[in-house]
Structure 1
């Protein structure tokens, strides 16, 4: 081990489990729905000397007894080989809450439902007698105590029929059957069935794999991406260096990809920009009031564990070019190491023109942009999510999510009009829904003492200050406390937010700063007071700013599964000061999806994200010294200053 922020290793996960076993804390029915690294405090990290190992490596393990439903948390020091804390979680008491689901519970829920005679009778009424391949979905039930199940480990299951192995089950939704499953007792505590005249099951074939779609088109010519001298970045342990950027890669079972200690080199100095960046939560609330869907608002990190569901990426499919992969390892359901080969992909991409100018009579000066891409993909049920961090030569950072996969659907009589679920194929409806991501940006712009400001464009009325009617200006407002820092984007005023340094000034005497530029979509559409709004409070605003607290990592709380509501809305009631202190930005973004026929049977990628851009952080364009590669493409050397012809 060489750095306090290195990812957990298989040996450390196995060692943590062995400590718990030796302490008599792991039995035959004990499972590990969550095992996360505990990061050392910032002063330990910032004061770390390369090569030293004078720091503690600990994990936070959540233990579930599947026989009783009891949930406990243990902190295990792998370094000391000891349990340093233990507590039982009061999951049977308000505001409740459950750990993320186990992989094994997906199959267990299906077995429980398929064994229920009421479910089999419901299938038979719909003409389904062979349920060998029928898919029973393992869905988080939300928080609806009036429906029963509060304080119990529950799932709600819908049914999608698969006629044979390999059939696309999403094409055959069985409408109107909802099984409420108690995972601890192993029973269907309630089965809802919409009665004698259910919507027909759609039977059209919608298989999308090559053997079903026919010959691939031949019109596209090869596009080769080569770097004969190798990539421009280097990797040493968890540290990545690319041009002026340096950062460390982390990964855990709940958040997935984490980027640590992001710095930008200015002259001979690596200046801090972001201490820690991740997308630790996302919620997918549905806008269909039908009994089969009103309760759906998935928290894909807190309920299903984004990192644990990460894909092993493949060259030429997920990543193209000169690729470097990073392997990850998380704990499986039994607390054993579960490797994820090629969990993270790194490569460079050309990104068009970075800057260009042509003076009359002079050859043009053009420099091409390039970006470093660090990404991973997670598959949660029917959707696939890509998380892409881009680093640019001008000091900008972009975060982009890519939502694809298969739209979650229901069934209806063909031709039915539904304002909440348009028909996207004959007899198949796609309920309206949102994908709302929340990025956590633990900022460190030239140090840990930062402030937050909001900028808005201001039109100047025609008059003495604007005699010709053309003038406009801008204004900055300090967001001095957490109560002032729950904000929403406004495209009419070009609203942006700044994190400024408390101590450093640029060449024109202003505090150095980075700017958060939103690419806003609608906020949470669920009504105030609704279950979704209480549980996904972070999605009510595009921006939150909080004073740093290491316990505040997940914007919907540590255990949003079946929880009444926690996270940012509660934390910010403390109304902590945000001036010249260690601040964290929380930015929510993402698409609101009204499904269309073109999204079926597999949805093209839907993009969303935001930018972090230097704004007075540097004294000039940092990319003036880029080479002109155009002459190299003609066989020249591409020396600095050569111009395109």
Structure 2
């Protein structure tokens, strides 16, 4: 029996199970190898760049979700990106049910992602290349020490000297005197350009003024910390326990928690993908979002000197946030009672590989959910919240990105990203002027200014598939002070601007008006407020793209020109910088700029997609080196006019005393003559000694509240 026939049998068995793969599930190892075997049978030996789920058409998927027993199950299909012996690039789709290649297209003028195998091969190559060895000798690094030379291979971005027909990388060079030294303290001043397919160095960019190899190390490993006085010794253990287990349930990759239900997908490009997010509102299951993901990001650097203008990495489109994901470990990356999900990908040969524990799912204490104390009688209610966290961490060369999708008990959805890792560095000479484009974070180490701009893709289904977006600005009343309408001049309101056409939606964040965006279902009205049920996008970290209009990165990263775009839904429109990003020039426009070019499409009461670019502008400082403390940024999706009242009222209080209870307790104390007993209580009779509010005896965040009575 051939390998293809054997895999076909395994695949048929997989689909014949009582619970075949959910249509949103990532491809299994068997499916990946079956897909590449089918392609190999038809097209011969290829090098596989990516093999991933071809997501079902939305129309078919919605029909199946509405009636899983009777509606046709969407077919399992795989997307394949492959390179042949002549280095030609192909996009294909494989039907995994029929075992057939149903689409196969040769592509020109674009290049596929750079894989981990490509990156590793480049580092080996530069150590052996005579031209690189020559440059190292000029800087004083002997040939026998070439094993101490390292590089961060990057895609080249775009360089007009080389174009897009040859698959290239640029190698950012470093030196590591000792095995435990941190190479980013020893940047080298030249940059080889590598042909990824032939394994040749085709050019080396060398500055006019050479910069010597740094002699000042900066490390963060334990041995070096011990040399500097050692670690802090005043930290006591902090334990996180859930003796009765977690409060969520998993059915395959579907999760249910605190009225939320959704599917957790994963792919090589976006990493975590959340699908079909719903909320059970007292028995009424209400749809919120069909799909949400981090769709793209760009990191433009601000040094205009050649070749640093090429440094603007699209870490998702050029490398893949899923492919670069870490294998997470208990007690370090995640704490508590953890449920893990693996990630499965294809290697260059078409064999399946697994990254264990790629996704971490756990609960955390979330602090105060709500609280009120009535000063009149000291009656009080306090409820502590908890949150569900679905996370991954991926490493893009020097930087780590910690991605947390967070669900709260008040039906808020939060996306938090923590940036850590190590600054991208460049060599500088003694007394050299950084010209404002960077900062000397350590002797001989220049860290350039840069931005981290992320694109969130939201496919909303707020109480249904037809939605509308409103821009909301806090606005003072137009009527002047002293007028009948605004005599004292204090009036202000929420100025709501409806987006009806694509061109109207192209907008930016405005801090002076605390701008937010409401994603609404205008076919329904809240019975109390008279407003449309909505989810409000609250995002205050949305810097503008700083490279100028017409610049290379401005053309390539068109999605980042504005904070908000809204488009009509279209199958296949997932990648705002285009499907294949590597070595594109930005001309012609690809991805989101192409989709919004007309601008006249209707987005009012339609099936829409909201694209939101947010992030930070990073001016490095010595405190960011040698390894950067995590810098968080966050956004919220909050229900507005969606529920009749606070949806978290049924979360058990941590402590509660009603006015009636306080009065009864106070009366009980006053009826006693024991002065010590009276002193144990505050003026309204709420216990404020040990066992009072906030202590273990009175707090129970997992079950019914405790009101401690005086015995």
Tell me the TM-score normalised to structure 2 length. Answer: 0.86
Q: Aligned-pair distance for 1:512?
A: 1.1
Residue 6, structure 1, aligned to residue 22, structure 2? no
Specify the alignment match of 1:168 in structure 2. 182
CA contact under 8 A between 2:295 and 2:457: conserved in structure 1?
yes
CA deviations over 1:423-473 (Å, ceiling 9, x no partner): 000111100001111110111100111111111111123241211111111
Specify the alignment match of 1:151 in structure 2. 165
Specify the alignment match of 1:459 in structure 2. 476
Specify the alignment match of 1:255 in structure 2. 270
Residue 62 of structure 1: which of 75, 81, 84 is its match?
Answer: 81
Q: Aligned-pair distance for 1:199?
A: 1.3
Residue 524, structure 1, aligned to residue 549, structure 2? no
Q: Could you tell me how far apart the structure 2 residues matched to 1:610 and 1:364 are?
A: 31
State how 1:152-551 maps to structure 2 within 5 Å. 152-175=166-189, 177-195=190-208, 197-214=209-226, 215-359=230-374, 360-418=376-434, 419-460=436-477, 461-464=480-483, 465-508=485-528, 509-551=530-572
Q: Aligned-pair distance for 1:643?
A: 5.7
Over 3 Å counting, the alpha-carbon distance change for 1:626 and 1:181 in structure 2 is: same
CA deviations over 1:190-222 (Å, ceiling 9, x no partner): 222225x51121122222121322143221111
Specify the alignment match of 2:676 in structure 1. none
Q: Could you tell me how far apart the structure 2 residues matched to 1:637 and 1:539 are?
A: 46
Residue 18, structure 1, aligned to residue 37, structure 2? yes
Deviates more, 1:560-569 or 1:531-540: 560-569
Specify the alignment match of 1:71 in structure 2. 89
Specify the alignment match of 1:584 in structure 2. 609
Over 3 Å counting, the alpha-carbon distance change for 1:347 and 1:111 in structure 2 is: closer
Q: Could you tell me how far apart the structure 1 residues matched to 2:622 and 2:298 are?
A: 24
CA contact under 8 A between 1:416 and 1:423: conserved in structure 2?
no
Tell me the TM-score normalised to structure 1 length. Answer: 0.95
Q: Aligned-pair distance for 1:410?
A: 0.7
Q: Could you tell me how far apart the structure 1 residues matched to 2:68 and 2:178 are?
A: 56
Deviates more, 1:34-43 or 1:81-90: 34-43
Question: Residue 511 of structure 1 aligns to a residue in which SS?
Answer: coil
CA deviations over 1:308-340 (Å, ceiling 9, x no partner): 111011111111111111112122222221111
CA deviations over 1:32-51 (Å, ceiling 9, x no partner): 21222111122332232457
Q: Could you tell me how far apart the structure 2 residues matched to 1:637 and 1:170 are?
A: 48
CA contact under 8 A between 2:502 and 2:603: conserved in structure 1?
yes
CA contact under 8 A between 1:424 and 1:600: conserved in structure 2?
yes
Question: Residue 31 of structure 2 aligns to a residue in which SS?
Answer: helix
Q: Could you tell me how far apart the structure 1 residues matched to 2:708 and 2:482 are?
A: 48
CA deviations over 1:354-376 (Å, ceiling 9, x no partner): 11112221420111121111100
Question: Residue 341 of structure 1 aligns to a residue in which SS?
Answer: strand
* Structure 1 unaligned regions, length at least 5: 91-95
CA contact under 8 A between 2:699 and 2:705: conserved in structure 1?
no
Residue 601 of structure 1: which of 623, 626, 641 is its match?
Answer: 626
Question: Residue 4 of structure 1 aligns to a residue in which SS?
Answer: coil
State how 1:134-149 maps to structure 2 within 5 Å. 134-145=149-160, 147-149=161-163
Report the aligned-residue RMSD: 1.9
Deviates more, 1:35-44 or 1:562-571: 35-44
Over 3 Å counting, the alpha-carbon distance change for 1:216 and 1:583 in structure 2 is: same
The structure that is helix-richer by fraction is 2
Q: Could you tell me how far apart the structure 2 residues matched to 1:516 and 1:643 are?
A: 38
Residue 557 of structure 1: which of 578, 591, 605 is its match?
Answer: 578
CA contact under 8 A between 1:417 and 1:423: conserved in structure 2?
no
Q: Could you tell me how far apart the structure 2 residues matched to 1:8 and 1:186 are?
A: 31
CA contact under 8 A between 2:26 and 2:52: conserved in structure 1?
no
Equivalent pairs counted in the alignment come to: 633
The structure that is strand-richer by fraction is 1
Q: Aligned-pair distance for 1:602?
A: 0.2
Specify the alignment match of 1:569 in structure 2. 593
Over 3 Å counting, the alpha-carbon distance change for 1:89 and 1:467 in structure 2 is: same
Mark the structure with the bigger radius of gyration.
2
Q: Could you tell me how far apart the structure 2 residues matched to 1:2 and 1:153 are?
A: 36
Residue 125 of structure 1: which of 107, 117, 138 is its match?
Answer: 138
Question: Residue 597 of structure 2 aligns to a residue in which SS?
Answer: helix
CA contact under 8 A between 2:152 and 2:172: conserved in structure 1?
yes
Question: Residue 98 of structure 1 aligns to a residue in which SS?
Answer: coil
Q: Aligned-pair distance for 1:525?
A: 0.6
Q: Aligned-pair distance for 1:564?
A: 2.0
Q: Aligned-pair distance for 1:636?
A: 7.7
Residue 110, structure 1, aligned to residue 139, structure 2? no
Q: Aligned-pair distance for 1:403?
A: 0.8
CA contact under 8 A between 1:372 and 1:392: conserved in structure 2?
yes
* Structure 2 unaligned regions, length at least 5: 1-19, 656-692
Specify the alignment match of 1:93 in structure 2. none
Q: Could you tell me how far apart the structure 2 residues matched to 1:299 and 1:32 are?
A: 21
Question: Residue 622 of structure 1 aligns to a residue in which SS?
Answer: coil
Q: Aligned-pair distance for 1:421?
A: 1.1
Over 3 Å counting, the alpha-carbon distance change for 1:150 and 1:220 in structure 2 is: same
CA contact under 8 A between 1:383 and 1:403: conserved in structure 2?
yes
Q: Could you tell me how far apart the structure 2 residues matched to 1:118 and 1:644 are?
A: 78
Residue 103 of structure 2: which of 85, 89, 94 is its match?
Answer: 85
